[in-house]
Amino acid sequence: MKSELELRGVQQRFHARGVADGYVTAVDDVSFSLLASPPQIVSLVGQSGSGKSTIARNVLGLQKPTAGSVLYGGKDIFKLSRSEYDAYRRDVQPVFQDPYAIFNPFYRVDRVLWKAVKKFKLADTRAKGLQLIEESLQAVRLEPENVLGRYPHQLSGGQRQRIMLARVHMLRPSFIIADEPVSMLDAQVRRHFLDILLDFQREHGMTTLFITHDLSTVYYLGGEVMVITKGQIVERGPVATVMHEPTHPYTKLLLDSIPSPDPDQRWTTRIQVDELERLDDNTPVDATKPEAPII
Amino acid sequence: MRLLTAVLRTIRNSRRLATGLIVLAVLILVALFSPLIVKAIGGGQDPIELAAYDKWQVPSPQHLLGTDQFGRDVLAMVVKALSVSLQIGAIAGVISTVAGVIVAFVAGYKGGWIDNVLSTFTGILLVIPTFPLLIALSAYAKNVSLFQVGVMISIFSWPFAAKTIRSQVLSLRTRPYVDLARVSKARDIEIIVTELLPNLLPFIGVGFASSALGAIFGLVGLEIIGLGPGGVIDLGQIIFNAIGTGALTLGAWPMFVVPIALLTLLFAALNMVNIGLEEVYNPRLRGVAGE
Ligand SMILES: Nc1ncnc2c1ncn2[C@@H]1O[C@H](COP(=O)(O)OP(=O)(O)O)[C@@H](O)[C@H]1O
Ligand SMILES: [Mg+2]
């Protein structure tokens, strides 16, 4: 088992107009590593524009860094052999920010799940594939009959984002790269989503890089946290330590800017699922009614 | 199959699109069956042969649209000409759409210097005054065939298709679902065909319709100044004939009016398809109208 994902001196520059030297440095000499075992949750917190998404894209191999490297099992992800690449692709999976844009509007939502089954050869028959899909949907507390066969715009944001989690559940990667996965969900659905992530960590041993600009979700998840500003990681450590005794001025600023920075006030009670199903905007939108809300 | 249902769904959602397509379908059917129709009109002889009938007959039950200066049946000529006009539209439409789509996807998806080179080239073709060049080309190449004229017209019309589609590709290729496909091990070509292309179908349809329309009218233009391809009669040539012989003063008004009416109908139908597609292309609208 390749058990480590490491960023070593990653720098990402983009050409930009109207800037002094013609480029912006979105990620500036960032190094950290994620271990598959023990499974952990590492939050990356910073303001909008601090370079978080760019780091996610670097880690996912969607953007080649201009300097430094991303290593999977000790090897540069852009220099992997065929079989190593296949292992990396399956083992490092994303959950993106916008639960609507993640679906191609042309297809039913089932397609992303079937794609995973086919591309990663999860099942050799259609029946087994369907069984896997249904199991994974249930694992993220979705009723298969409520989502399968529907188009993205017919589901709520929470449902769509949980389909992404079902996809992750099917693939059982060691690493989840979650780029602001809850920023577009409302509070109740948000907690529901985070609980599933925590379940994945506990039950399936998945490590999550959780990117957010919201400190309350960092409190809720616990684990480790890294604070990023202007492309640089300025502080890192266990959540409790960083929140109680911030050392970097930027972290202090960040903590001061939220209304109730008391880490002990974090949500401790788990909400029951059946209770949540009512709170969740779970009822599928009846698309034939003209007054039906459209996302 | 899934594509077909999606297309049907799209059509059902727009009355304008449906009307345009029905009119177009009727015109195409007439064109497809034009040999049979012409034969039926002739009733054993060729109604488009020179001196098949008396010259300049006014409309009558035997010759619904009369005959022209050579004694040819005008209705038969119009039917045949419609099929020629549609052919040039199809030839130029297909060539420019295929060329435009390929260039647009390569440029838009690959980006970088490839995009720069292709876009510059497309841009140059776009600013060249098309019609004078077309005239020069046709005057230079005597006895061109219909197909060659189609190719010539395509040279100037594909950049329009390429330009619109490229900008769409640029906006689509950074969509998160493209990233998701990439982390699901989809290859570039697979992403282009399965993720981007279906969403671009309306734009491709618009590109095709515009190119076809451009070509049909381009040929009419060439015919009117007497530079059309040899050996074929298209709608423009009949109009040219009518103007040249003063058909209107001789009471042979259908020779002038009917081709123009058909061209107008074609123009309206293709434009309705264009507008309908643009209207329908919006996943939100799909939601309102049901699946
Ligand atoms: N493809 C790109 N081209 C140019 N600049 C980019 C690109 N992607 C990100 N940037 C810039 O990099 C910086 C960091 O962006 P991003 O990583 O999206 O931040 P965050 O996710 O923390 O909001 C921003 O200034 C942004 O404008
Ligand atoms: Mg971001």
In tens, the pLDDT along A124-182 reads 999 999 999 999 999 999 999 999 999 998 999 999 999 999 999 999 999 999 999 99
The 10s digit of each residue's pLDDT in B50-93 is: 877 887 887 888 888 888 888 888 899 999 999 999 999 999 99
What's the mean pLDDT in B272-289? 62
Name every chain B residue with its beta carbon within 8 A of the beta carbon of A62. Answer: 179, 182-183
- Decide if B74 contacts B254 (C-beta within 8 A): yes
Q: Among residues of chain B, what percentage have pLDDT more than 70?
A: 94
ipTM of the complex: 0.84
* Residue B120, Cβ density class (10 Å: 0-12 exposed, 13-18 middle, ≥19 buried): exposed
Cβ neighbours around A235 below 10 Å, total: 20
> Per CATH, which fold does B14-49+64-285 belong to?
MetI-like fold (1.10.3720)
pLDDT digits (tens, 9 = 90+) for B89-119: 999 999 999 999 999 998 888 888 888 898 8
Residue B251 has pLDDT above 50, yes or no: yes
Residues of A in contact with B176 (CB under 8 A): 96-98, 101-102
Which of A90, A106, A122 should one mutate to test binding to chain B, selecting the residue with the greatest count of B CBs within 10 A?
A106
Angle between helical axes of A187-204 and A157-171 (0-180°, round to 10) = 10
Domain spans, chain B: 14-49+64-285
**What Å distances lie between residue B187 and A17, A23, A137, B182, B193, CA to CA?**
31, 30, 27, 7, 10
pTM: 0.78
Structure tokens, A151: 């188009």
Q: Is A287 near chain B, with CB under 8 Å?
A: yes
Tell whether the model's pLDDT for residue B237 goes beyond 90: no
B120/A99 Cα distance (integer angstroms): 37
pLDDT (0 to 100) of residue A258: 64
- Identify the pLDDT of residue A134: 96
pLDDT-based confidence at A273, cuts 50/70/90? very low
pLDDT tens for A238-268 read: 999 998 999 999 888 888 876 554 455 444 4
B231 against A169, higher pLDDT: A169
Which ligand approaches the C-alpha of residue A51 most closely?
Answer: 1
Please indicate whether, in this complex, the C-beta atoms of B199 and A106 are within 8 angstroms of each other.
yes
Does the CB atom of residue A58 touch ligand 1 within 6 A? no
Residues B124-180 pLDDT 10s: 888 887 778 778 877 776 677 888 888 888 888 888 888 888 888 888 888 999 999
Domains and CATH numbers, chain A: 4-282 (3.40.50.300)
Tens-place pLDDT, residues B9-19: 777 777 888 89
